[in-house]
Chains A and B, each alone.
Chain A
Amino acid sequence: MSDEHDAEWYEKKFRPMIYLVAGILLVGTVITYVADVLGIAEKWGFRNAIIFALGVATVKASAVIYIFMHLKWDINLKTISLTMACAIIFLIGMMWLTVGSEIQDEGGIDGKPGGTETTWKHGKPSKPKALKAGDS
């Protein structure tokens, strides 16, 4: 990180912060695991389970990025923030458009993945034929 901190800061502030974040991460893992053992997918529905598990993962990931990778103190450096912003925008674009263009069913990922609602089927467009590019 840009050198605005002295040794004392590292000793007194940063080190306890590391222990704290490590604790949060471990607790997060335990929570996800326990939730799975308790079967939240059955209790809350699959969609909520996804939101829960990926939400916890995102919190964990943010903690790692923010503190461990000390982005908290580096985020104002344009080089880093712009690069990461680009990567993340393109990543989302890639996922969204790739998956989006292959799901014919408007139901999206509402149903259980692997279940019938979301099964991708070729040659059975749900849209009017006239709009389809591939039909000839």
Chain B
Amino acid sequence: MELPYNSKPRPDTGLYNGKVGIWLFLASEIMLFGGLFSAYLLLRVGADDGNWSMGLMTKWVGAFNTFILIASSATVVLAWVCLKLKDWAGFRFWKWWTVGFAATFLIVKWGYEWPAKFTHYDITFTSNQQAEKVFADVFDKGSYNDCEEDHRKIWNERYDADGENKDIPEGKKAWGKVDIKDKPLDGHVVGYYTENEQGERQHHKVEAAFGISFWSHAFAWRYDARNTVLGITDTFSEKGIVAVEIAPTHGVWDAHPEEEASAANRRYAEADNDTGHDGHAGHGHHKAITIETSQISRLSSYEPAHSTFFAVYYTLTGLHALHVFGGILVMLYHLLPISQRVYESDPERFTNRIEITGLFWHFVDLVWIFLFPILYLL
């Protein structure tokens, strides 16, 4: 049974069926992402001081992915134009480019961006005294007072990009409102200690996550002091961890800015050498420190549970990435030999399908255009 207006537009509406369908679908998608954008807005406006941890994003990665997606948006429309011009080879050329870009986007997102966050930790402390000691140690200073300026600088980089903005009245800055113990130390977990019955400590090294050196170290571990009271099991209780060895990372905590250039070395410094218990990593400039479990209030990687910002980030980008993934599957289908047969038997209908896929793909691009500033920049 052949349905009317499958490939020819209906005269009074000027549209063929599929195009009506896709626009309706996109309207619904607007509301779906709109619901999440509303959530973003409401949660952000209501966020407590210093709880909107957006400064932790790697901006250039987001910018790169924006480039990729915009390029794919252009190639997908070029592919359609080729079909309009009856140029099958050109269609395949541009479509393959689109798939390539889309795949790159997903690889960057799921292969690099997310795992890099899952292996990157924030630690907060149970008391200000403990925190002062640890921070003084990290910054290689005698006391916390000596390193507070450094600490503040890093804090502002992370949470309060306009920390020096004169518009914000004195005393209202996030920095001043948060206790030292709640100002997190970030780094990779490179090792941990367990205790046997005799009370002897054993050191365990944590290798790169899943054996892939690119994904460094402990993957999405979690510890929250409140868990012990609530009786919830977490990574620490499963492994019986009594102390954890942290390598502060990404340079932001580094007390030696002149070595900033060797970022690549620093990232893997802990992995490729004995981090040692003396507190110094193999490369000598990066200090791994041991923190007792009892000193830790909360340890969390940059996973969804880290903070509300990351929850929104993962949900929005995850849902968006699923759309990208779905788009790739459909576009690959259009590159199969079976599609060529469809094209040869009914070119107009196939061209319409490509147009519909293109419309969906542009919408995916559109969502990202808004996601990039609100998740990475603002």
Q: A and B touching (C-beta < 8 Å)?
A: yes
Please, which residues of chain A bring their CB within 8 A of the CB of B342?
A: none
User: With A60-B369, A95-B34, A116-B172 as given contacts, are A33 and B63 in contact (CB-CB < 8 Å)?
Assistant: yes
CB <8 Å contact, B31 and A90: yes
CB <8 Å contact, B34 and A94: yes
CB <8 Å contact, A114 and B50: yes
CB <8 Å contact, A88 and B366: no
Bound complex: CA of A42 vs CA of B19, how far in Å?
45
In the assembled complex, how far is the CB of residue A23 from the closest CB belonging to chain B, in whole angstroms?
A: 9
Bound complex: CA of A59 vs CA of B375, how far in Å?
18
User: With A7-B85, A79-B20, A87-B31 as given contacts, are A53 and B369 in contact (CB-CB < 8 Å)?
Assistant: no
Segment touching A, from B121-129, B160-168, B265-273, B311-319: B160-168
Please, which residues of chain A bring their CB within 8 A of the CB of B86?
A: 7
6 residue pairs of the A-B complex, CB under 8 angstroms, read A32-B372, A33-B60, A80-B23, A83-B23, A99-B45, A115-B174
Q: A7-B85, A112-B162 are in contact. List 7 more A-B contacts (CB 8 A).
A: A22-B73, A26-B70, A39-B161, A41-B162, A53-B378, A80-B23, A102-B45
CB <8 Å contact, B70 and A91: no
In the assembled complex, how far is the CB of residue A124 from the closest CB belonging to chain B, in whole angstroms?
A: 13
CB <8 Å contact, A95 and B38: yes
Please, which residues of chain A bring their CB within 8 A of the CB of B366?
A: 61, 64-65
Contact of A18 among B41, B78, B174 (CB under 8 A): B78
Chain B stretch 358-378: residues in CB contact (< 8 A) with chain A = 358-359, 362-363, 365-366, 369-370, 372-374, 377-378
Mark contacts of B10-31 with chain A using CB atoms, 8 A cut-off: 1 yes-contact digit, 0 otherwise.
0001110001100110111011
Bound complex: CA of A21 vs CA of B77, how far in Å?
11
CB <8 Å contact, B84 and A103: no
Bound complex: CA of A1 vs CA of B13, how far in Å?
12
Bound complex: CA of A68 vs CA of B366, how far in Å?
11
Please, which residues of chain B bring their CB within 8 A of the CB of A88?
A: 30
Mark contacts of A105-125 with chain B using CB atoms, 8 A cut-off: 1 yes-contact digit, 0 otherwise.
000010011111011100000
Interface assignment of B9: CB less than 8 Å from any CB of chain A: yes
In the assembled complex, how far is the CB of residue A125 from the closest CB belonging to chain B, in whole angstroms?
A: 15
Contact of A95 among B37, B67, B365 (CB under 8 A): B37
Contact of A112 among B14, B34, B74, B168 (CB under 8 A): B168
Mark contacts of B156-195 with chain A using CB atoms, 8 A cut-off: 1 yes-contact digit, 0 otherwise.
0000011011011000101001000000000000000000
| A-to-B contact residues, CB < 8 Å | 2-3, 7, 10-11, 14-15, 18-19, 21-22, 25-26, 29, 32-33, 36-37, 39, 41-42, 45-46, 49-50, 53-54, 56-57, 60-61, 64-65, 68-69, 77-80, 83-84, 86-88, 90-91, 94-95, 98-99, 102-103, 109, 112-116, 118-120
CB <8 Å contact, A113 and B45: yes
In the assembled complex, how far is the CB of residue B214 from the closest CB belonging to chain A, in whole angstroms?
A: 24
CB <8 Å contact, B81 and A14: yes
In the assembled complex, how far is the CB of residue B127 from the closest CB belonging to chain A, in whole angstroms?
A: 25
User: With A45-B165, A115-B174 as given contacts, are A57 and B74 in contact (CB-CB < 8 Å)?
Assistant: no
CB <8 Å contact, B369 and A64: yes
Bound complex: CA of A115 vs CA of B42, how far in Å?
13
CB <8 Å contact, B172 and A94: no
CB <8 Å contact, B378 and A45: no
Cβ-closest chain A residue relative to B74: A22
In the assembled complex, how far is the CB of residue A20 from the closest CB belonging to chain B, in whole angstroms?
A: 10
Please, which residues of chain B bring their CB within 8 A of the CB of A19?
A: 74
